[in-house]
Amino acid sequence: MLILSQLLMALITYPCLLRSAATRNLSDEERLLINLFKDYNPSARPVIDSANTVTVDIQFSLMHIKDLDVRSQVFTTTGLLIVEWIDERLVWNSTKFNNASDMIVEADRLWRPEFAVINGAEKLYEDYKAFRASISSIGQVHWEPGGVFKTMCEIDITYYPFDEQVCALVFGAWSYHTSKMNLTTSTSVVNLDSYKTNGEWEIFTTSAVRNEFNYECCPNEKFSNVEFKVYLRRRHTFYVLNVILPSIMTSVLLLSVFFCTPNQKVQIGVVVLLSFRIFLLNVAGNIPKTSDHIPLLGIYLTVTMAITTLSMVLTVFVLNLHYISDRPVPSWAKTLIIDYMGRCMCMSSYKKDKRRSTVNGITLEKIGERIARHTMEEEGFIKDSEEDFSADWKRMAEVFDRLFFWFFLTAILITTLILFHPLTKACMKLNCATTKT
């Protein structure tokens, strides 16, 4: 009985339900969609007269630079393409649809312009279907597909870390030639409205250029693409603090080797060499590993290392001079090196007699006057003649030390200036850029 009555109720109410569903008024957007897409074929170009050209305006909005890989020369960015075109089939009278003048639709319902990342490093085509498009009653379509773009970028690291790079993103059509689909851009810059700054690279200018060209296959058909260039400058504070200043300081420390006593020479020399080695190990990780362009910084470090090694060898030479005592300095060396070169380098004049007398004075003070004076004089005489030789050799070592100091100071200054030359150039450019903006 119960089942029967339920069945009866269902039979009575069912047509009512059916009728109310059928009579539900469609929303304005539903009516509009049915109207617009009744006979719409997304493969056909959006022109009613097929002789017409579809003009597609394309802009690039850079959001973030993820990476610029120096070794693989890949520029990775996140960005949006702002694409606009007119679809002549998507025009409606907005007063008929409750003043609905625009609408958002899935992009795969529409005809979409074809463009590929021409200089892409991995994928040429991206799947942009998930991005919806906005259409307006005059047939204008606004579409902002985006993603991560990996493009090839030729990198020149000669002036690393004061280098500037130009990386481009080229968007173009493979299949449509210009008479069917004309790819253009209405701006001359990359849109940086939603750009998040990168820690390593600073954008100093951008450009957007439309190119038209022929492929060899089809000389009669023109193709167009749009090239978005980003001009990057490396932020070099990190490298100046961590690479360049320490290497200059180590070079300066090296100079102190020429101003210390023979015993300290070896200690300081070893400390300088070791610290240089540790420092080089640290730096090697920061320098781009490529052989296409050798960075000036790498050359600088190699030259400084060579200077250090040479200075160590010369220090050994000076040490050897210092400890000679068994033979006299050749007279030509005495006049040329001790007298002439010593005076050239403004070293205080060399007084042999004074030094000997003070040595004698100290020995005389220390030792009792009356005890074996005669023998002491004899011994003193022998020592005097030995000291005479070694004093000359020591003087010669000092002159060489001073000579090498000036030599290495000049070498370090020249190499440092050569390295820093591009820095001054970069600074001047930076000033120009800031005054312009």
Residue 214 contacts ligand NAG per CB under 6 A: no
Map residue 145 onto helix, strand or coil. Answer: coil
Q: Per CB under 6 A, which region of 175-183, 256-264, 359-367, 390-398 contacts ligand NAG? A: 175-183
Map residue 205 onto helix, strand or coil. Answer: strand
Residue 179 contacts ligand NAG per CB under 6 A: yes
**Cβ(285)–Cβ(239) under 8 Å?**
no
**Cβ(155)–Cβ(165) under 8 Å?**
yes
- Min separation Cβ 11 and ligand NAG, Å: 25
Q: Burial of 78 by CB count in 10 Å (0-12 exposed, 13-18 middle, 19+ buried)?
A: middle
Q: Which member of 52, 140, 158, 178 binds ligand NAG (CB under 6 A)?
A: 178
- Among residues 34 and 245, whose Cβ is nearest to ligand NAG? 34
Q: Which member of 93, 175, 237, 261 binds ligand NAG (CB under 6 A)?
A: 93
Residue 182 contacts ligand NAG per CB under 6 A: yes
| DSSP annotation string for 30-89 | HHHHHHHHTT--TTS-S-SSTTSPEEEEEEEEEEEEEEEETTTTEEEEEEEEEEEEE-TT
Q: Which member of 27, 95, 357, 424 binds ligand NAG (CB under 6 A)?
A: 95
- Min separation Cβ 98 and ligand NAG, Å: 5
Residue 99 contacts ligand NAG per CB under 6 A: yes
Number of residues that bind ligand NAG (CB under 6 A): 11
Residue 61 contacts ligand NAG per CB under 6 A: no
Residue 101 contacts ligand NAG per CB under 6 A: no
Residue 35 contacts ligand NAG per CB under 6 A: no
Q: Which member of 101, 184, 309, 335 binds ligand NAG (CB under 6 A)?
A: 184
Residue 96 contacts ligand NAG per CB under 6 A: yes
Q: From residue 88, how far is each of 85, 139, 330, 331 by CA, in Å? A: 10, 6, 102, 103
**Cβ(78)–Cβ(64) under 8 Å?**
yes
Residue 187 contacts ligand NAG per CB under 6 A: no
Q: From residue 411, how far is each of 25, 250, 260, 351 by CA, in Å? A: 89, 14, 20, 32
List of residues contacting ligand NAG (CB under 6 A): 25, 53, 93, 95-96, 98-99, 178-179, 182, 184
